[in-house]
Structure 1
Amino acid sequence: MSDQPLLRVVRGTPDDVELAALTAVVAVAATASGEEETPASSAWSARTTLVRRQLDHGPGAWRASGLPR
């Protein structure tokens, strides 16, 4: 390891509790990946399947209404 500290107080005189809080925040920020993990979703749990799609109108609409989309 290097002889230089990871954190350096530039101004003020923090006590041990404040330094511990700062160290904890920096440690958590360093390990965070920046991406939130999203659970895998499937077609069974999709909310869009609960909503009826818009019905088309015009010539041949009755025939197209029976076709899967």
Structure 2
Amino acid sequence: MNIKVVRGNPTPEELAAALAVVRVRAAAAAAPPPGAPAPRDSWADPSRIAARRLPQPGPVTWARTYWPS
């Protein structure tokens, strides 16, 4: 992020205060609103399970349910 002073000659303290305000506003804009549910972890997302095809019944389905060791 680049910030350019167009007018005036700010002191280092004024420039630091202005940058602090800009950073706080940017952080507030990126944060979720208060009271919003936390984003789900992709592992806990139920749509992950629904995206896979479920086994369909058929003559060889039993062969896919057993893994010999």
The two structures have a TM-score, normalised by structure 2, of: 0.42
Higher helix share goes to which structure?
Answer: 2
The two structures have a TM-score, normalised by structure 1, of: 0.42
Per chain length, whose mean CA-contact separation is higher, i.e. which structure has more relative contact order (CA < 8 Å, sep 6+)? 1
